[in-house]
Amino acid sequence: MQLKKEMQLSKANETDRNSDGGKVVLVLGGGPAGVVAAVRLADLGHHVTLVNRPRPGEGLEAVPRHVREQLRAHGLEASADTFGPLVKARTVWAGQKSSAQLHVVHRRLLDQALLYDATRRHVNVVDGIAGGIVRSDTGWRVGVGEFNYEGDFLVEARGREAGGKEGGGTVICLTMRYRMPGDCEPFVEVFSFEKGWVRFIAGERREAALQIYLSDDNGDIPAGSFALKNFFEALTGGLSAHLPLLAEAKPKGEVERRNTVSRLREPLIGMDSIRIGEAALALEPLPGSGLEQALENAEIALPVIRAWLAGAGDKQQLAAGYIDRVKADFGALKQSRQVRFGRSENK
């Protein structure tokens, strides 16, 4: 059903949740950042439509324990409930060993639960690819298939796939999924090897994912899926000393290739629009704090969006405050990764 702005506004006016003036907000992307923004703005009485195309592939992620509580604090109970038990995560870096407790998260389950939570919280969730994003005198228009959705404010939360100016540099993450032997307990292991960095995540139900991070400086990572599989197998052949269990694991599916370099995506804030989560600042996921960072960024953006929608405060000042904060966070996070992982990336 095509949503008309007038209908949405009149619907919002009928409710008594209309404390901030009931504007129409379009959120693009239903990952953790988009859903937190959507539910919080809906709580304030705004009429929120969230457009999401499900993430392709099946991923396992290792997530710090307090992220689950962060989700609960936003009332995203079903999402928090998808977290697996805490498992031991061991990092071996330049001879230094450290360990932590992390949750193994099945990303497809989390993504489905996020949308379920959003629907439960009065967000209009649209399943589809957002395209044809146009700004006119009266507001924003977003095309999804044959329908158009209109709104007063746009929240860009499409993660790494959001458009916009990109920085340079490449860090390729090659991922392969595995089925583990029956007696394998969940664990996470991170270590460096001569060609790059490795993260192995073994979750429940004998599922596992091996991520190999390579700097693509030499351009020697093949493009075709057959050649890529051979390339990946050659890399994993040298890992058995670090990961003896790999010899017993059965590969599943194709090698997935993603550019995971850290990037600040500008402009962070525009005419009645804002970028949040990885659409604003994407950090190389190896240290396992991407989800936490996406949530924190959404939390920083919320008061800015709220004031903007309420027409409270100087827009330029609000924008400058947000831009400064995101840039400062990006710089600090990049530096802490470089200190911890002893490497530098191109800007």
Ligand X SMILES: Cc1cc2nc3c(=O)[nH]c(=O)nc-3n(C[C@H](O)[C@H](O)[C@H](O)COP(=O)(O)OP(=O)(O)OC[C@H]3O[C@@H](n4cnc5c(N)ncnc54)[C@H](O)[C@@H]3O)c2cc1C
Which spans of this chain sit near ligand X (rule: CB under 6 A)?
28-34, 51-55, 61-63, 111, 129-130, 157-159, 161, 173, 175, 211, 258, 260, 277-279, 285, 288-292, 294
Q: Which two tokens stand for residue 131?
A: 């395209």
In this complex, which beta carbon is closest to ligand X, that of residue 69 or of residue 137?
69
Residue among 23 and 106 whose Cβ is closer to ligand X:
106
- Shortest distance, CB of residue 31 to ligand X, whole angstroms? 2
Instruction: Give the residue with the Cβ less far from ligand X, 163 or 311.
Output: 163
Nearer to ligand X, 22 or 36 (CB): 36
Please provide the DSSP assignment of 94-136 as one string. TTEEEEEEEEEEEHHHHHHHHHHHHHHTT-EEEES-EEEEEEE
How far apart are the C-alpha atoms of 198 and 85, rounded to whole Å?
A: 22
Residue 266 CB, shortest distance to ligand X, in Å, is 16
* Inter-residue contact 295 to 31 (CB < 8 Å): no
Give whichever of 110 and 309 is closer to ligand X, judged by the CB atom.
110
* Residue 86: CB minimum distance to ligand X, A: 14
Angle CA 278–320–9, to nearest 5: 70
Say which residues have a Cβ less than 8 Å from residue 98's Cβ, sequence separation at least 6: 90, 91
- Shortest Å distance, C-beta 20 to ligand X: 23
Considering beta carbons, is residue 22 or 236 the nearer one to ligand X?
236
Please report, as a single letter, which amino acid is at residue 183: D
Nearest residue to 112 via CA among 75, 81, 149: 81
Shortest CB 32 distance to ligand X, Å: 5
From the CB of 316, what's the least distance to ligand X, in Å?
Answer: 25
Given the complex with ligand X, which of 22 and 74 has the nearer CB atom?
A: 74
Cα separations (Å) of 288 from 23, 29, 100, 220?
A: 35, 21, 11, 26
Tell the smallest beta-carbon distance from residue 112 to ligand X (Å): 10
Which one, of 89, 85, 76, 78, lies nearest residue 103 by Cα? 85
Rounded Cα distance between 285 and 269, Å, is 24
Please say whether the beta carbons of 201 and 285 come within 8 A: no
Using the minimum distance from each CB to ligand X, give the nearer residue, 39 or 45: 39
Q: How far apart are CA 49 and CA 25, in angstroms?
A: 6
CA–CA gap between residue 120 and residue 50 (Å, rounded): 13
Minimum CB separation of residue 159 from ligand X in Å reads 2
